[in-house]
Amino acid sequence: MSRALWLLILSLFSLTFTLSASSSSWGSRSILRAVNTDNADVHDYAVELNATNFDEVLRDTPASFAVVEFFAHWCPACRNYKPHYEKVARLFNGPDAVHPGIILMTRVDCASKINTKLCDNFSVGHYPMLFWGPPSKFVSAGSEPTQTKSDVRVIDDGRTADRLLSWINKQTGSSFALDDQKFENEHLFSNVSDPGQIARAVYDVEEATSTAFEIILGHKMIKSNTRASLVKFLQLLVAHHPSRRCRKGSAEVLVNFDDLCPLDMWSADRQEDQDVQAALGNFQICGRDVPRGYWMFCRGSKNDTRGFSCGLWVLLHSLSVRIEDGESNFAFTTMCDFVHNFFICEECRRHFYDMCSSVSTPFNKSRDFALWLWSAHNKVNERLIKEEASLGTADPKFPKMIWPLRQFCPSCYLSRNQKNDGIEWDQDEVFKFLKEYYGKTLVSLYKDKGINGNDGTNRALEDLVPSTNAIVVPLGAALAVAVASCAFGALACYWRSQQKSRKYFHHLRSLKNI
């Protein structure tokens, strides 16, 4: 065999070996990647934070405590510790959390340049390093975490999942276990015993709002005949939603409604249909910074009870006690149309719309509308009490009841009719209770936690008086009541003077014609 032929064979062999080695390496990584992707256990429950969202997430979380892990992605020990941390995080974080709303488990990558200053502020001296404390204490924290119990503390014994959870149990006086399953929570509170728990429902109202719009988009329910009712409901949310985040998100949807929800958005021949759906799917009406799935006030003792339906009722009640007299009939028709067009439970929406249809005269007072909604809710509960009793589907810890209970509002009760077991209500007292319960108390948690650092009071006041400059114009345009109030006009003029974007102003004016 000639020398040239030998050289050719050796070259081909060398090339084949190189490609084979390269392919083998790439292939093994692909296989591992595929295995990891298919593994249902591989899931990050801990919330990734960085310098841009650190304060906001910890400020707005409903959790009573937070754990922050400072790590570096290149650190082998950190990679080995991650499965331990995730075992604990899955108990408290995410939509399937076993013990939601108690502890927020987070992590910060100090190897990322954006987090250099943040990690310096906490004097991170090794990886991984864990800190514990009330979420508000992490916001704008000083550079030297102390061992004082009320401040941010270093977790000194959390090297394994068992040790970390044991350390947490000592701090909280709890008995959490790594094998705890959802809804087996001995710490589940009953709203029957503590009227102040409604303050925690502000997070459930956010959850219900987000879920409602996910359902609307998922089922493609925005049609030519339902667009107007959705716009009106958004106007109601912009002005009176108890959550500042949801008011802001609703305003963004409202302003950009024509772009986000074009008339032919679901048509089969629309070329950009997928782009529109993607834009809507990525939009979070109440923000995306805080993990969802807490259902704190509205959490049932069983997996299929309370939750979304409870949160939606709380939202409707909170709106009813925030409106002014001139908005009462608009709010009534808006809620009725929204439930009729967008609530996916057929029997529920039919019953609700039947109650709406039985109203023969317009509501002129906000008091009358709030009391009608309260009465309608009690009628629903009366019906469900009987149905759930016969079928055995009631939540044992949260049975349906006539509201409010006597221990919550003794003055609401005049007497009980012994003949038909009916209740004679003092409706003035009931309205005062509803205003306090679904109004001031519902947002008091923000004020108590001081969620804006030193400026917490201002932000709490912002939540207590939601109808501010930036949202009066669209609602006023829809209701056509601006001419009835000089003060309203002055606010609208001031609001207009603050606008820097002509397009934004143009969209607001165009809402009159939607």
Angle formed by the axes of helices 469-479 and 486-498, nearest 10°: 120
Distance between CA atoms of 452 and 432, rounded to whole angstroms?
A: 29
| H helix intervals, 219-365 | 227-240, 244-255, 257-260, 273-282, 308-320, 328-342, 346-357
Determine whether 75 is an active site residue.
yes
Distance between CA atoms of 83 and 509, rounded to whole angstroms?
A: 53
Residue 68: which H helix or E strand, with range? strand 65-71
Whole-number CA gyration radius for the chain? 28
Q: Which two tokens stand for residue 368?
A: 């009358």
Determine whether 78 is an active site residue.
yes
Tell me how long the chain is: 514
- Torsion, Cα 51 53 59 63, to 10 degrees, reads -110
The one catalytic residue in 78, 110, 246, 409 is 78
Buried b or exposed e, range 343-367, using 16+ CB within 10 angstroms: beeeeebebbbebbeebeeebeebb
Distance between CA atoms of 197 and 505, rounded to whole angstroms?
A: 40
Phi, psi dihedrals of residue 210, rounded to the nearest 5°:
-65, -45
**Upstream peptide bond of 404 is cis (omega within 30 degrees of 0):** yes
What residues are annotated to the active site? Answer: 75, 78
